[in-house]
Chains A and B, each alone.
Chain A
Amino acid sequence: MQFPILSAILITPLLGALLILVIPREDVRTIRRVGVAFAVISFVLATILWIRVEQLGAGALQLVERYPWIADFDIWYHVGVDGLSTPLIWLTALLMTLALFYSAHVIEDRVKEYYFLFLLLETGLIGVFLALDLVLFYVFWEIGLVPMFLIIGIWGGKRRDYAAIKFFLYTLAGSVFALLAIIAIYFNTGTFDIVELARLQPFAQDVLWANLASWGLWLAFAIKIPVFPLHTWLPDAHTEAPTAGSVMLAGVLLKLGAYGMLRIGLPLFPQMFRYYVLDVPILPVLALFSIVYGALVCLAQWDFKRLIAYSSVAHMGYFTLGLCAAAARSAETQMAAISALDGAAWQLFSHGIITGGMFFLVGMLYERTHTRDLRAFGGLSGQMPVYYGLTLVFALASLGLPGLAGFWSELFVFRGTAQLLPLAAYIGVLGMVFTAAYILWKVIQYVFLGTFDAIRWGTLTDLAWWEKVAVVPLLVLTIVLGLYPAPLLATFDSAITALLHVLP
């Protein structure tokens, strides 16, 4: 029997969390060290995992483990990874390591609970990417919810309790209907196995139930992505969360919904997807709304952190658009569909590193100035040159500058969409224009250029070493992936091709 690396990745953060529970509350140094150490171990394991998956082939589910969990209900502990989930697991482990390292220098209050919750969160997040059983997926989905709820509520900003409960209610409201759909699917097919279900196509004959079940699942995913008009929890949660919480929210939690769409939503209900893209185009319209509306709100936004939060709505809109394009495919347009989904998957990864970096940087500025009002800044480029340089790269990556990681997702999404849903592609491109406008005008100009208020900001210090350590890995990734996207793209591509190949 081979080493169960997936279970090991899953359990490492949990072990760390439990270990932290027995460390005395006063021993803050040890707690921080243990927390970061376990995050690093997970990251190392995730790296080994990625190498293993590349060796075995990223196009199929690898390293599958399957044991009965609750035999009475036919629920299995069934995990496995392919080229789609592996990079996202790696991204989770990376962002968690950086977030906890950064927090070790920032968080002074209730450190024990903080590290406990973050490590618990990591287990929940990784579990979602691993699960191949619908109920297991659901359980991990909800496990991730509780720690983030407490993180926002305890360590958040001024309106933290409002943001926390809003986040909790939105997510849970979506997921309970997903649970109903999951049980209904079971009664139709007799299995919770995601791989098996993609083959069986639940409710192929029953239009009413196919509608109910697919919308039940999509609602949960769409809230998490988030798709307009279900996005209103996001700005509050992202803005009020502590920096590390925002990084994990934007970097990974949004990807859970997207991953659910790719792994469950599309494979189980391709016909329903096609119907709501081509015949009744609700989904592409909502995707376009997310892109254009999200970008327009950014243009009107004066709160730095809220601006970045809304930019996530717009950026995840590209993902949804790519998904819609893929759903609209026919036998002749298979290549375009693959291209669109490649771009969508790439968006998940690149948005994770870029927005993760942006939230780090916004948090660092806020730590120094205690304001997020864009109008209060100006001319900071001279005072904080390193900070300026880092922010500039992430900001340009965010607007999709060629040579940086963000570019490839937009290129592939629009390449696919232009062929499959031309009208949607033309409207979607508008979003890119607005993005360029708010990035250059709002972020760059208002914060870094213009007149410098020496009285107010004369004492600002540039980034400390540990702040650089937290951000530079993401910066390097952004540049490397921007210049040489081929390996990661190949990984995604083999998984996506396999995924689409199975569908009717």
Chain B
Amino acid sequence: MLLDPTLVFRAFSSELVLLFTTLLVLAGDLVFRPRGQRYCTVVTLGGLFLASLSAVVFRVPEDISLMPAGLTLDSFALAVKLLGFSLIAVIALLAEADNCCQSPSTALYCALLLVAALVISILGAASDLVLILLALDFLGVIAYIMTGYERLSPNASEAALKYFLYGSTLSALMLFGFSWLYGASATTDLVGLGAFLDRGATSSALSLRAAELDYVVLPALIMVGAGFAMKLAAAPFHQWAPDTYQGAPTCSTAFIAVVPKLGGLIALIRLTLVALPAGSSEHGGDWQALLVALAVVTMIVGSLAALWQKDVKRLLAYSGVVQVGYMLIGVATQSATGAAALLFYLFIYALASVGIFAAIIAVTGKTTPVSTDISAFSGLHQRAPWLAFGTLVGLFALIGMPLTGGFIGKFWLFVAALEKGFPWLTGIAMLSSIISIAYYWKIIRVMYFLPALTDDSLRVPIWLSVALSLCVVLVILFGLFPSGVPELFRMAIVDFRF
């Protein structure tokens, strides 16, 4: 099959922009060496903006499945692009201010961010098992490098090694699971896989009986689920998260908290809704049970572990685990509402998290050695009121208080879950929201109710202020006027075959 070249150009316009920008950053850094830092950030932001623009302007008219490439360019892919690019742009602002990201060179860090954006945009369209695996692993490699970016810090190296070992082992397991699925169905295409699971055993490439097919598909699904759980830091495959969060430079922590989760969840949404939808086959039901179990375990384990943390980054690692538990509810409903709610909630979670990490960079940036103990936030209210307020808004969004987008997101997730008949699942989510107050409270308490350890006021770098303000404004804006946004996300999902 020959493809129209202009169509290919249109389809990959934003990826091309990102590639070109990556080269521009790396090359330009050599030219502008002494003042390279500012240059890199500006070019990165510009590139991300142009990529978003071209994604919208050169939108492929109708949903086109680029079969040989395993890509489906639908409105979901477009939504993911915009979501991913904007989040990575905010993280690029953090990178500018975080000293840890500037050695050996800021250019390299920015290049990594741009490549990550490229991978996300491919993941959004990926509808082929092999491509999904490749993209997820590519994203993983970027995250490993970012974690160990501070080469001379033993903590960072340990964090990166732990992350790498966990990640590669479970990726291998996921690949193994995919290969079983391929072995049974003789296809790696998600639509083909879905059709195969629909028709059942008779169509199997191995000509199995129904009972025998179960022996192949069920273990495969469990292995795939485990792989996804690691990518998302969902229990019981979350143990890498606290150490990695703590050891990595804070800007990289923000990246790890947001981008791999985004990548994993969008792949999970497409896999679930296209290949394993509810009611199509019994495997859809099995998959749902698996996801529900994963969500429940994740929420409970994350909540209980978070209660005992004394380090801000470790606390946020566990709170991230809990948040993924909520989001898994969205996938587990196997419905358009659930998936759309998930996307929205993910966006709010990412904004709130990045905002809080920006505050952590500002607070801990000057201390040597870097200590992220909660007490570092003492009296932040007096030292830097706006920083404290931004963190407060971020934490309230994570709790799900009204007036923040977090409330709308949770509300929507719960609506989706109740719609599909999961009152007990929402009950557990509610309980873990209540528990979450107890650990977020630790940060709020030291920020607002305790005196500062030092009297000097905190000078916040301008880029951090911009990033934090952006996050706060968006979180509140989506909390007050979410009208239309839900419809937009739902539109992005309904393209899928159910």
Contact = CB atoms under 8 A, between A and B. Distances in A.
Contacts of B401: 142, 146
Interface string B166-187: 0000000000000000000000
A497 B288 CA distance: 51
Closest 5 CB pairs of A and B: A72-B486, A139-B402, A142-B402, A176-B430, A161-B449
Contacts of A176: 430, 433-434
A165 B441 contact: yes
A114 to B, nearest CB: 13
B427 interface: yes
A499 interface: no
B414 interface: yes
A183 B484 CA distance: 20
Given A153-B448, A160-B449, A183 B433 contact: no
B57 interface: no
Interface in B448-487: 448-449, 482-487
B27 interface: no
13 contacts: A72-B484, A72-B485, A72-B490, A73-B411, A139-B402, A165-B437, A165-B441, A169-B434, A172-B399, A177-B430, A179-B414, A179-B430, A180-B426
Contacts of B196: none
A237 to B, nearest CB: 14
B486 A183 contact: no
A70 B418 contact: no
A138 interface: yes
Nearest to B396: A146
Given A146-B396, A168-B437, A180 B414 contact: yes
A184 B418 contact: yes
Nearest to B488: A72
A297 B83 CA distance: 57
Contacts of B415: 73, 183, 186
Interface in B378-414: 396, 399, 401-403, 407-408, 411-412, 414
Interface string B421-449: 00100110010011001100100010011
Contacts of A160: 449
Interface string A316-333: 000000000000000000
A8 interface: no
A432 interface: no
Contact of A72 (B403, B448, B487): B487
Contacts of B396: 146
Contact of B445 (A72, A165, A172, A187): A165
A183 B411 contact: yes
B419 interface: yes
A180 B449 CA distance: 32
B483 A69 contact: yes
Contacts of A154: 448-449
Contact of B483 (A71, A169, A177): A71
Contacts of B483: 68-72
Nearest to A135: B411
B418 A187 contact: yes
A164 interface: yes
A53 interface: no
Interface of B: 396, 399, 401-403, 407-408, 411-412, 414-415, 418-419, 423, 426-427, 430, 433-434, 437-438, 441, 445, 448-449, 482-487, 490
A308 interface: no
B14 to A, nearest CB: 28
B412 A138 contact: no
Contacts of A41: none
Contact of B423 (A70, A71, A143, A184): A184
A354 interface: no
A119 interface: no
Contacts of A399: none
A173 B436 CA distance: 11
Interface in A151-168: 153-154, 160-161, 164-165, 168
B419 A139 contact: no
A143 B402 contact: yes
A69 B407 CA distance: 15
B247 to A, nearest CB: 31
A150 interface: yes
Given A72-B482, A142-B403, A180-B426, 20 more contacts: A72-B483, A72-B485, A73-B415, A139-B402, A139-B403, A142-B407, A143-B402, A150-B448, A154-B449, A165-B438, A165-B441, A173-B434, A176-B430, A179-B411, A179-B430, A180-B418, A180-B430, A183-B414, A183-B415, A183-B426
Nearest to A152: B449
Contacts of B430: 176-177, 179-180
Given A176-B430, A176-B433, A73 B486 contact: yes
Interface of A: 68-73, 135, 138-139, 142-143, 146, 150, 153-154, 160-161, 164-165, 168-169, 172-173, 176-177, 179-180, 183-184, 186-187, 212
Nearest to B487: A72
Contacts of B423: 180, 184, 212
A68 B482 CA distance: 12
B399 to A, nearest CB: 8
Contacts of A161: 445, 449
Contact of B437 (A142, A169, A212): A169
A176 B400 CA distance: 10
Given A70-B482, A73-B486, A138 B402 contact: yes
B421 to A, nearest CB: 10
B238 to A, nearest CB: 24
Contacts of B403: 139, 142-143
Contacts of A187: 418-419
A72 B423 CA distance: 22
Nearest to B382: A110
B448 A73 contact: no
B325 to A, nearest CB: 16
Contacts of A173: 434
A219 to B, nearest CB: 12
A143 B423 CA distance: 26
Given A138-B402, A165-B445, A187-B419, A73 B427 contact: no
Contacts of B426: 180, 183
A150 B448 CA distance: 8
A207 B484 CA distance: 36
B391 to A, nearest CB: 14
Contacts of B433: 176
A166 to B, nearest CB: 11
A70 B415 CA distance: 14
B281 to A, nearest CB: 27
Nearest to A160: B449
A41 to B, nearest CB: 23
A180 B427 contact: yes
A172 B402 contact: no
B411 to A, nearest CB: 7
B99 to A, nearest CB: 30
Given A143-B403, A146-B401, A70 B448 contact: no
Given A154-B449, A179-B414, A172 B486 contact: no
A183 B438 CA distance: 25
Contacts of A184: 418, 423
A55 B399 CA distance: 44
Contact of A172 (B411, B412, B414, B434): B434
A73 B415 CA distance: 9
Contacts of B438: 165, 169
Contacts of B487: 72
B328 to A, nearest CB: 19
A73 B412 contact: yes
A138 B408 CA distance: 12
A165 B434 CA distance: 12
A334 B426 CA distance: 40
A186 B426 CA distance: 15
B87 to A, nearest CB: 23
A21 to B, nearest CB: 10
Contacts of A177: 430
